[in-house]
Amino acid sequence: MNATIAKFGWPATLIAEFDHWVVLLRPTQPTLGSLVLAAKSDATAFGDLPAEAHAELKTATATIEAALTRAVGYAKINYLMLMMVDPHVHFHVIPRYEGTRSGGGLTVADAGWPGQPELGAAVRPDGALDDLRAWLQGWFDGAMA
């Protein structure tokens, strides 16, 4: 795994794994169910990923969307490829909804709804991190084929 994946807490934050991608629980939650979808590659440019990684992105995003639909009932979903500090290819996956959602021992409001996500208003799960990860992982287990 690359340094970006390690920085986001792998393996403790691992939710799901594909051949070319990992889905990690985002250490801070701007909305409930926020994730990091990270390429296992050492590529630092999206276009440098192998074709197989691009193809598998369809499966990874479909799995994420199926799981988060059931977990938080989002209205929209944002995939943010920021890569300003952490250089390896990754997306911040932010499910968007009006109001609050609860699960895994945490309640989180979407402070930016219906505008841009308020990343600075994110909730840090701290003591609930393991419970939140296990709760979300259960939704993924049912979504992966």
Q: With contact defined as beta carbons under 8 Å apart, do 67 and 140 qualify?
A: yes
Within 17-110, residue ranges assigned H as helices are 51-72
Its domain, for residue 34, covers 3-143
- Band (pLDDT 50/70/90 cuts) for residue 142 is confident
Query: To which H or E segment does residue 136 belong?
Result: helix 129-143
Cis geometry, peptide bond prior to residue 87 (ω within 30 degrees of 0): no
**How many other β-carbons are positioned within 10 Å of the β-carbon of residue 98?**
10
pLDDT at residue 145 in the model = 57
> What is the domain count for the chain?
1
Instruction: Tell me the residue length of the chain.
Output: 145
Beta-carbon neighbour count of residue 78 at 10 Å? 17
Predicted local confidence at residue 122, as pLDDT: 95
Q: Please say if the pLDDT value at position 144 is more than 80.
A: no
The pTM assigned to this predicted structure is 0.96
Position 53 confidence tier, pLDDT thresholds 50, 70, 90: very high
Model pLDDT, residue 126: 83
Which tens digits make up the pLDDT trace of 85-138?
Answer: 999 999 999 999 999 999 999 999 999 999 999 999 999 998 889 999 999 999
CATH code for position 88: 3.30.428.10
Tell me the pLDDT tens digit for each residue of 56-90: 999 999 999 999 999 999 999 999 999 889 999 99
